[in-house]
Structure 1
Amino acid sequence: MSTPERRLSSVPLAVIAPRGEFDLDSLPPLQEQIDAALADHTGVILDASGITFADSMFLRLLLTTHQRTDLRIAAPSETIERLLAVVGADAVLCVYLTVEQAQNA
């Protein structure tokens, strides 16, 4: 089971740190977290270090979020790095090694 966590930063971007596996069935809570964060912030930093599995629906969520706001992917797990590279999304999305780098970008 996946549990999205929300952490606020001192910059105008919300930091969301989801953990676990994300697919069609487990994405709605993460989508709600992103929507809630955007009500109070200008963008989202997704700390992807705790994501152990993600499918094409997760990738779709990233791309649609990227289209509507400032989305920064931070500390991607090996799983997420591989997913982004295979489909070429790493050339489209802003990916950073750490949350701190994403905040300072």
Structure 2
Amino acid sequence: MPQPSCGPGVRVEQYARNNSWVVAAEGDLDAQTLAPLQHALETAAATRQVVVFDTSAVTFADSSTLNLLLQIHHTTTLRIAGAQPQLLRVLEMTGADRVLALFENPTDACTAAAS
């Protein structure tokens, strides 16, 4: 069953799919709104081997989000799904797209994790 949580300007939902734990965020992610997502990703990384971050409803992400993703990447297998053009640009400009596993959607990311 999905586990939603909300913070200022961001909504986070979590659920299991295949052998993965999906954390989906919606809204603008920056230093002021990142806390619910950070908590969800850190908790998932501590207990799950594969974490899929569904970014399809993320409308903005800044360097604090990128920093969080790179930290989580070092503690678990992190897959980024559904990145929109703004987030893709940040990932490409910083070279993080060569470090993080990117997928078109959560289904593809979870299917890859199950193989």
TM (norm. structure 2) is 0.84
For residues 24-103 of structure 1, what are the structure 2 equivalents within 5 Å?
24-103=31-110
- The CA RMSD measured in Å over matched residues stands at 1.2
Q: Distance in 2 between matches of 1:90 and 1:44?
A: 17
| Total equivalences in the alignment | 104
Tell me, which stretches of 5 or more residues in structure 2 are unaligned?
A: 1-8
Q: Deviations over 1:62-90 (max 9, x none)?
A: 00100111000011111111110111110
Hey, which of these two has a bigger chunk of helix by percent? 1
Amino acid at match of 1:75: G
Hey, which of these two has a bigger chunk of strand by percent? 2
Q: Distance in 1 between matches of 2:46 and 2:96?
A: 26
Tell me, which stretches of 5 or more residues in structure 1 are unaligned?
A: none
The 3-state SS of whatever aligns with 1:30 is: helix
1:10 and 2:24 are equivalent in the alignment: no
